[in-house]
Amino acid sequence: MPEHVFFFGGGEAEGTAKARENLGGKGANLAEMTNLGIPVPPGFTISTPVCKYFTDHEGSYPDGLEAEVEATIKRLEGVMGAKFGDNENPLLVSVRSGAAVSMPGMMDTVLNLGLNDESVQGLIRKSGQERFAWDSYRRFVNMFGDVVMDVDHEHFETILTGLKNEVGATQDTELDTPHLQELVKRYKSLYKEKTGEEFPTNPIDQLWRAVGAVFKSWNIPRAIKYRQLNSITGLLGTAVNVQVMVFGNMGNTSGTGVAFTRNPSDGTQEFYGEYLMNAQGEDVVAGIRTPRPIKDLADGMPKVYDELIGIKNRLEKHYRDVQDVEFTIQEGKLYMLQTRSGKRTAQAAVKIAVDMVKEGLIDKNTALLRVDAGLLDTLLHPGFDPKAEKELLASGLPASPGAATGKIVFNADDAERLGNEGEAVLLVRNETSPEDIGGMHAARGILTATGGMTSHAAVVARGMGTCCVAGCGSLRIDYKKKTLIVGDRTFKEGDFLSLDGSAGEVYVGQVPTVPPALSEDFGELMGWADDARRLRVRANADTPEDARKARENGAEGIGLCRTEHMFFDADRIVAMREMILANNLKEREAALGKLLPMQVEDFAAIFEAMEGLPVTIRLLDPPLHEFLPHEDSSQQEMADSMGVSLQVVQDKVRSLHESNPMLGHRGCRLGVTYPEIYEMQAKAIIEAACRVQEKGIKIFPEIMIPLIGTSQEFNILATQIRNVAEAMLKEKGIKLDYLVGTMIEIPRAALTAAEIAENAEFFSFGTNDLTQLTYGYSRDDINRFLPDYLDQKILPEDPFQVMDQAGVGKLVSIAVKDGRSGRPNLKIGICGEHGGDPKSVTFCHHEGLDYVSCSPFRVPIARLAAAQAQIQS
């Protein structure tokens, strides 16, 4: 086995698909295809550990690498019968990055390497195409200058445009050999002017510089940002793939294309892709010319098409997954340049996974692992209301499904700024580039004027699950004026448009949305997930409507029913405020007496909706001041309606003011100081439960005390609640299964879980508050420093979205272990935001929790993530 440099070519390769970590995805798959006998231009891969060494040693290489590379070049020359810099049969190579995880567009590529004033003559001789050879040369100088030496591409463009003007050409294709020779000359002058040195003529020298540039590009900001956004960690670096050039631009029997073995948008079993004749790969990706659908190739080059179909079938069977392939046809001969697992929409992922099980390609567990639980979101997101009136503005390509409506902005920075301020924005660009990643992430939808289904915008948007319409040719965008003109209509920044990414359509104004209808495949896959998983999934729901929605989505109970939202209805807030303004116990009890029957109705309706399933009701949690108005006019209104003076209201607001309300008088602390509040709620829960049970409906209420920090708090309040419950049940002569348990959301509760579990029948981790306190972050204030913290990698992710396992998770572990040490059957769940995040669900599975609870909408995500955790454990 070689140490750093892995050769492939001549029907065999030193690497395999399994060497992905060392060779990167591209290199490993090139080796694999070579071994499968698929036509791949020969070449070699410099492994990822070299990148790590390069990064750690200020750009130097491990001992012996140079000799190894040069020996491998000799081998390549041997296989090809060509020689670097030769003026008869010159060896020309591409140099490409390729990490273990695909990072589209993140790393730089150099093509046609090996050209110089002599070898260009060789290329002319070999190809017989002088214009093509000089065009390749000038492209190489441009690309090398830009990518390797940081000479801005704009300067090359200026020279090109200048020359075109001089000779009266409008298209590049109108330039002939002398023009291209002149371009090479001017490009080299530019190169010398900007870099202070001559353009390197020695191909080996060119190669080393290109290899170094690829390794360096691992740590350019946009690559770092991409890894951050996609939580890609633990990689050594990128590999470098050096591969003999094949040319899709050698005339009309040459071409290039990209294709998926199945439709990556909806999963249909069809060969799906596009190609351009007489073009190089970047012409397809850049979206300058609009490619043709792959099936047209059957007519143009039927033999090549048949060969491609054969390879497609072999690859899919071999990899047992959808492949995303790149190919080039050079003068009628097909070469495969890449194969990799194809990115797909959630909808496609579901269909493909289910289909492949039916085709016997994979088993159900593999199918479950094939769907990114996080992406299910896109299936679950609303689409346009079919009944809505819509005014079609333009059509483009359905680049990433889903629907979105928002204010249009014309650059990524504006999108990022407004998006982070909570505005719904659509990012509108001629085309996108890797620098736009941040803005694309912040946007609700992306609209581009050029580019195909595999353009940067399309690929990235699908990866993000963001709706995208690409290649919408009728748009005229003026970045300076910040306007978008379609026909005779002009839209300014801030105007509303709506996108249908599944249909590739753009509508005027705001189009209302509705929830999507989920496919049968989806239901089937979810059924498999339910069979596979151990972890139960509940929903956080405060109303009977939410409860029903949760059940529809497969929730197996309610893990968090917040009672405070019930107090904001117009008729209730008055009683609530009377309670707060009460001067003594008697007045407070009178106000609570008015709330009691309302609470009974609330709970009874939720219990009925959740027949047969557990419902965890959290007793009052927020500080009382949240129920009082804070603006003068509302305070006056409240005073008037309650027949007290404004002063009384304002005094109460003032007296309830706290420096740090998060850490203040709320949760069970209110329960301790005003026992009558929880007593009323306990009564309402038991009363509702009895009423519903009397109708023959089975229910399992779980009464949850929030913000417990000491076992004493829990003991006092649980005793009070149980006393109320037992007295009512005894009086009614009813037997009821109910539990009394606690939120674990205060670090101290986790640290003293053993004591608390002596008396608590269940724990539910409130990971929102637990995260706030473990980090000392206020969710309301974190945005002041969170962007800096993510940029500087102090935090890998927003800890309020993905549970921090090292800190918060450690508290969860302690609490689970200690809580169950004395009470082995302690029921444990989680009801914070993290309950619907796949990584956090995996963590909960491994910690032995009984259930997760999340928003109704994310229940399917949690079901799938739970199944995946089980399968992978």
Q: Return the number of the residue (673 or 825) whose C-beta is nearest a second copy.
A: 673
Q: Judged by CB under 8 A, does residue 251 bind a second copy?
A: no
**Hey, what amino acid is at 853?**
S
Q: Does the protein bind a second copy through residue 662 (CB under 8 A)?
A: yes
Q: Name, in order, each residue with C-beta under 8 angstroms of 794's C-beta and a sequence gap of 6 or more.
A: 788
Backbone angles phi, psi at 251, to 5 degrees: 125, -165
When asked if residue 479 is in the footprint of a second copy (CB under 8 A), the reply is: no
Helix, strand, or coil (residue 218): coil
In the numeric block, which tokens belong to residue 454? Answer: 């595999």
Least Å distance, CB 115 to a second copy, is 44
- As a dihedral over the C-alpha atoms of residue 644, residue 648, residue 653, residue 654, rounded to 10 degrees, the angle is 170
Check binding of 578 to a second copy (CB under 8 A): no
Among the listed ranges 70-78, 298-306, 657-665, 849-857, the one in contact with a second copy (CB under 8 A) is 657-665
Q: Which is nearer to a second copy, 543 or 715 (CB)?
A: 715
Q: What is the spatial distance between Cα 99 and Cα 219, in angstroms, rounded to a whole number?
A: 12
Q: How many binding residues for a second copy (CB under 8 A)?
A: 48
Q: Closest distance between a second copy and the C-beta of residue 773, in Å?
A: 5
Contacting residue, 713, 833, 837, 850, with a second copy by CB under 8 A: 713
Q: For residues 584 and 792, which CB has a smaller minimum distance to a second copy in the complex?
A: 792
Residue 872 engages a second copy in binding (rule: CB under 8 A): no
* Shortest distance (Å) from residue 535 CB to a second copy: 24
> With respect to a second copy, which residue has the nearer C-beta, 245 or 808?
808
For the bound state, the minimum distance from the C-beta of residue 811 to a second copy, rounded and expressed in Å, comes to 7
Q: Which of 251, 300, 332, 661 binds a second copy (CB under 8 A)?
A: 661
Our finding on whether 626 is near a second copy (CB under 8 A) is: no
817 binds a second copy, rule: CB under 8 A: no
**Interacting stretch for a second copy, rule CB under 8 A, among 34-42, 251-259, 652-660, 854-862?**
652-660
Please tell me whether residue 393 adopts helix, strand or coil conformation: strand
CB of 620 to a second copy, least distance (A): 14
Bridge partners (DSSP) listed for residue 404: 499
Stretch of residues binding a second copy (CB under 8 A), selected from 104-112, 602-610, 742-750, 830-838: 742-750
- For β-strands 83-84 and 90-91, DSSP reports them as parallel
Task: CB nearer to a second copy: give 204 or 814.
Answer: 814
Query: What are the DSSP calls for 290-352, one per residue?
Result: PPEETTHHHHH-HHHHHHHHHHHHHHHHHHTS-EEEEEEEETTEEEEEEEEEPP--HHHHHHH
Shortest reach from residue 779's CB to a second copy, in Å: 9
Q: Could you please report the per-residue DSSP string of 89-137?
A: SEE-EEEEEEESS--TTTS--EEEET--TTHHHHHHHHH--HHHHHHHH
Closest approach of a second copy to the CB of residue 430, in Å: 12
434 binds a second copy (CB under 8 A): no
Given 472, 561, 831, 854, which residue is catalytic?
A: 831
- In 493-607, where do the E strands start and end? 496-500, 505-508, 513-514, 536-540, 558-562
Q: Is 456 a catalytic residue?
A: yes
Contacts of 70-77 with C-beta under 8 Å, sequence gap 24+, read: 70/204, 72/2, 72/5, 72/7, 72/44, 73/204, 73/207, 75/7, 76/7, 76/9, 76/42, 76/43, 76/44, 76/242, 76/244
* Residue 660 binding a second copy, by CB under 8 A: yes
Beta-carbon contacts of residue 176 (< 8 Å; ≥ 6 apart) = 131
Per the CB < 8 A criterion, the answer to whether 801 and 841 are in contact is no
Say how many C-beta atoms besides its own lie within 10 A of residue 841's C-beta.
31
The verdict on 663 binding a second copy (CB under 8 A) reads: yes
**Least separation, in Å, of the C-beta of 745 and a second copy?**
8
HSE-CB of 461 using CA atoms within 13 angstroms: 37
From the list 27-35, 178-186, 655-663, 681-689, the region that binds a second copy by CB under 8 A is 655-663
650 is an interface residue for a second copy by CB under 8 A? no
CA distance 587 to 760: 32
Residue 573 to residue 317: CA distance in whole angstroms: 63
847 touches a second copy by CB under 8 A:
no
- Residue among 378 and 432 whose Cβ is closer to a second copy: 432
Tokens of 373: 């639980």
For residue 236, give every residue at least 6 positions away whose Cβ sits within 8 Å of its Cβ, in sequence order, or none.
21, 48, 49, 51, 52
Task: Say how far apart CA 810 and CA 814 lie, in whole Å.
Answer: 6
Question: In the set 460, 467, 685, 811, which binds a second copy (CB under 8 A)?
Answer: 811
Q: Which is nearer to a second copy, 288 or 716 (CB)?
A: 716
Helix (H, G, I), strand (E, B) or coil at 9: strand
Give CA torsion, residues 636, 642, 645, 646, to 10 deg.
Answer: -30
Q: Which among 112-120, 229-237, 508-516, 748-756 is the span making contact with a second copy, rule CB under 8 A? A: 748-756
Output 549 or 666, the one with its CB closest to a second copy. 666
Q: Compute the least distance from the CB of residue 564 to a second copy, in Å.
A: 18
Bridging pattern class, strands 238-244 and 110-113: unpaired
> 10: which DSSP letter?
T
Q: By C-beta, is 773 or 849 nearer to a second copy?
A: 773
- Alpha carbons 49 and 70: distance in angstroms, whole number: 18
Closer residue to a second copy in complex, CB, 63/631? 631
* Residue positions counted in the chain: 873
Which residue's CB is nearer to a second copy, number 532 or number 808? 808
Q: Which stretch binds a second copy (CB under 8 A): 179-187, 298-306, 494-502, 659-667?
A: 659-667
Q: Which of 179, 381, 441, 456 is an active site residue?
A: 456
472 catalytic residue (yes or no): no
Q: What residues between 749 and 808 interact with a second copy by CB under 8 A?
A: 751-752, 755, 769, 772-778, 780-781, 784-785, 788-789, 792-795, 804, 806-808
Binding status of residue 747 toward a second copy by CB under 8 A: yes
Do residues 772 and 778 touch, judged by C-beta distance below 8 A? yes
Q: Does 712 interact with a second copy (rule: CB under 8 A)?
A: yes
Write the single-letter amino acid at 104: P
For a second copy, which stretch binds (CB under 8 A), given 274-282, 501-509, 653-661, 828-836?
Answer: 653-661
646: contact with a second copy by CB under 8 A: no
| Residue from the set 188, 548, 669, 722 that interacts with a second copy by CB under 8 A | 669
| Residue 840 interacts with a second copy (CB under 8 A): yes or no | no
**Among residues 546 and 713, whose Cβ is nearest to a second copy?**
713
Per the CB < 8 A criterion, the answer to whether 732 and 691 are in contact is no
Residue 77 CB contacts under 8 Å (≥ 6 apart), including other chains: 83, 84, 91
Residue 622 found at the interface with a second copy (CB under 8 A): no
SS (H, E, C) 482-493: CEEEECCEEEEC
Q: How far is the CB of 675 from a second copy (least distance, A)?
A: 10
Residues 97-156 within binding reach of a second copy (CB under 8 A): none
For a second copy, which stretch binds (CB under 8 A), given 290-298, 320-328, 597-605, 658-666? 658-666
Of 40 and 808, which CB lies nearer to a second copy in the complex structure?
808
Residues forming the active site: 456, 831
Footprint on this chain of a second copy (rule: CB under 8 A): 658-665, 669, 672-673, 707, 709-710, 712-713, 716, 745-748, 751-752, 755, 769, 772-778, 780-781, 784-785, 788-789, 792-795, 804, 806-808, 810-811
